[in-house]
């Protein structure tokens, strides 16, 4: 929406999206298409000032009722593959939209049916045939997409030492383990690796960050820290590996996860599900006490039965936005490389400010007391600056 939407669309939709005030379902998968999303059979045919949409989407992993359906459609059934697609931001309450549960062994998914749904043409994001370009466009300028593989890291940085769960690994040895990883014998998962500590050429491979990560208040020169708390992190894992804890990001920052190589699956829970997730106490309140949410001990954690999560598959070139306070974890489907960045903006500044000042209070209560009003004023100033520049 930031990159391809009109100014009117940005003004209407981005503020409530970034503040998690509305729920938007991304509906891609179709009964006969599977992961081949370019094989889109949901048709959107122009009729005056509307598109008439007919088709079906399946395996939608959300549980919150949607306000909008971010939908890939085929606008020209006779057109060339990858050149006949478009995106529609469809209001979910339009006549002809039907949502049904799919009760599967993996949990509840949803099917969405479109039966002669008349969608105003103003709800098309981007041009009529730009759908595939939009799908692949957030980080398509990154050299890393064509360079970064486990073998690339093995060959170029093999002598480098990394630490995983207290154990040191030479990178070439680790990459070999990752390439041979399986669900039965998962390799160690390199995670939360700060790229600032790596050679500068890697940073150039993922620059600039996509527009959707801005504005990021943490990068402001007015931020009261010598080193801004913005972290760009690297994750490399083999098939079968998984993130060790269900959590939300510290300091209530947003997270943007950009997939470079392979396929990763995310499991996420909205903030209102926290009461079912058994948060730990104290400084680890952002982590769940459930050791394995894929195979929970329901006798020990009975409330987890009531938790409703959603799953996402992240493919190369795709970006996943995890809003502040959303619980999430991940497991690796195929050998995977991911980059993440944490951000703060108008939508999560209050939570970030509270957590940041509390962290400072652990070292100095006086400094925290002085810092709190400054952080409040800084948030107001940065929000005003963004609005003046037309950024939500």
What CATH number should be reported for the domain holding residue 71? 2.40.110.10
Query: Is the residue at 82 inside a domain?
Result: yes
The reported pLDDT for the residue numbered 45 is: 95
Mean pLDDT over 233-249 rounds to 97
- With vertex at residue 297, the alpha carbon angle to CA 293 and CA 303, rounded to the nearest 5 degrees, is 80
Which domain-ending residue is among 135, 158, 189?
Answer: 135
- Residue 105 predicted with pLDDT over 80: no
> For residues 295-323, b (16+ Cβ closer than 10 Å) or e, as one string?
ebeeeebeebeebebbebbbbbbbbbebb
Q: Are residues 131 and 181 in the same domain?
A: no
Q: Do the domain assignments include residue 353?
A: no
Is 388 part of any domain? no
Closest CA to 350 of 328, 332, 329, 324: 324
Instruction: Mark which of 328, 343, 358 sits at the end of a domain.
Output: 343
CATH of the domain at 179: 2.60.120.650
Beta-carbon contacts of 382 under 8 Å, excluding residues fewer than 6 positions away, are 215, 217, 220, 222, 346, 349
Residue that wins the pLDDT comparison between 61 and 190: 190
Q: Has residue 390 been placed in a domain?
A: no
Band of the pLDDT at 62, cuts 50, 70, 90?
Answer: low
Range of 49-58, 134-143, 313-322 with top mean pLDDT: 49-58
Residue 174 and residue 117 share a domain: no
The pLDDT of residue 107 is 56
Residues 198 and 275 in one domain: yes
For the chain, how long is the longest CA-to-CA vector?
69
- Sign, CA dihedral 15-19-25-29, equals positive
Q: Is there a domain that residue 392 lies in?
A: no
Are 197 and 274 in the same domain?
Answer: yes
Most confidently predicted of 27-31, 73-77, 106-110, 155-159:
155-159
The total number of structural domains that make up the chain: 2
Tell whether 124 and 166 lie within a shared domain: no
Q: 351 lies in a domain?
A: no
pTM, rounded to two decimals: 0.74
Residue 2 placed within a domain: no
* Domain identity same for 197 and 52: no
Residue 380 counted as domain residue: no
The count of residues in the chain is 392
Are residues 131 and 165 both part of a single domain?
no
Which of 34-43's residues contact partners 24+ apart within 8 Å by CB, and which partners? 35/313, 35/315, 37/72, 37/135, 38/81, 38/82, 38/85, 38/132, 39/81, 40/72, 40/73, 40/74, 40/85, 40/131, 41/74, 42/71, 42/72, 42/73, 42/74, 42/114, 43/73, 43/74, 43/75, 43/77
What is the extent of the structural domain holding 200?
144-343
Do 101 and 166 reside in the same domain of the chain?
no
For the residues 161-170, what does the mean pLDDT come to?
97
> Which of 89, 116, 135 corresponds to the end of one domain?
135
Distance CA(67)–CA(54), nearest Å, equals: 19
Residue with tokens 């938790």: 307
CA atoms within 13 A on the CB side of 357: 18
Residue 34 CB neighbour total at 10 angstroms: 11
The model's confidence at residue 87, banded by pLDDT at 50, 70 and 90, is: very high
Same domain, 286 and 157: yes
* In the predicted structure, residue 390 carries a pLDDT above the cut 70: no
Strand order in the sheet with 264-269: 310-314, 264-269, 327-332
Q: Give 58 or 356, the one with higher predicted confidence.
A: 356
81 and 194, same domain (yes or no):
no
Residues 185 and 53 occupy one common structural domain: no
Residue 20, sorted as left (phi over 0), alpha (psi -120 to 50) or beta, turns out to be left
Q: Sorting pLDDT into bands at 50, 70 and 90, what band is 1?
A: confident
Output the six-digit token pair for 178: 């990752």
Reading phi first (left if > 0) and then psi (alpha if -120 to 50, else beta), residue 107 is in: left
**Domain co-membership, 231 together with 281:** yes
> Mean pLDDT in the chain?
91
């Amino acid at each position: 929406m930031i990159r391809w939407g009109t100014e009117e669309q940005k003004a209407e939709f981005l503020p409530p999206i970034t503040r998690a005030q509305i729920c938007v379902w991304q509906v891609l998968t179709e009964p006969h298409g599977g992961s081949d999303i370019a094989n889109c059979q949901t048709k959107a045919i122009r009729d005056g000032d509307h598109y008439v949409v007919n088709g079906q989407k399946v395996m939608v992993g959300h549980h919150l009722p949607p306000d909008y359906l971010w939908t890939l459609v085929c606008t020209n059934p006779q057109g060339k593959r990858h050149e006949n697609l478009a995106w529609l931001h469809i209001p979910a309450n339009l006549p002809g939209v039907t949502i049904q549960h799919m009760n599967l062994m993996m949990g509840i998914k949803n099917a969405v049916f479109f039966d002669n749904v008349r969608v105003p043409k103003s709800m098309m994001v981007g041009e009529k045939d730009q759908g595939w370009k939009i799908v692949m466009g957030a980080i398509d300028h990154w050299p890393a997409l064509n360079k970064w593989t486990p073998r690339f890291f093995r060959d170029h940085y093999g002598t480098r030492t990394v630490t995983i769960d207290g154990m040191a690994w030479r990178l070439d040895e680790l990459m070999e383990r990752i390439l041979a990883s399986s669900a039965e014998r998962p390799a160690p998962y390199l995670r939360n690796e700060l790229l600032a500590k790596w050679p500068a050429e890697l940073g150039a491979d993922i620059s600039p960050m996509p527009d959707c990560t801005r504005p990021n208040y943490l990068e402001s020169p007015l931020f009261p820290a010598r080193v801004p708390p913005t972290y760009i992190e690297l994750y490399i894992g083999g098939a079968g590996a998984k993130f060790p804890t269900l959590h939300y990001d510290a300091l209530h920052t947003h997270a943007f996860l950009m997939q470079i190589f392979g396929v990763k699956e995310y499991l996420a829970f909205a903030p209102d599900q926290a009461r079912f997730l058994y948060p730990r106490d104290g400084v680890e309140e952002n982590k769940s006490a459930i050791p394995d949410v894929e195979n929970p001990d329901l006798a020990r954690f009975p409330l987890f039965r009531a938790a409703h999560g959603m799953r996402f598959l992240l493919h190369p070139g795709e970006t996943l936005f995890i809003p502040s306070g959303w619980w999430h974890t991940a497991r690796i489907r195929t050998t995977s490389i991911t980059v993440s960045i944490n951000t703060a903006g108008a939508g999560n500044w209050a939570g970030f400010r509270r957590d940041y000042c509390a962290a400072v209070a652990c070292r100095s209560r006086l400094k925290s007391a002085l810092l709190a009003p400054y952080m409040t004023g800084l948030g107001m100033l940065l929000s005003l600056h963004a609005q003046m520049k037309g950024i939500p």
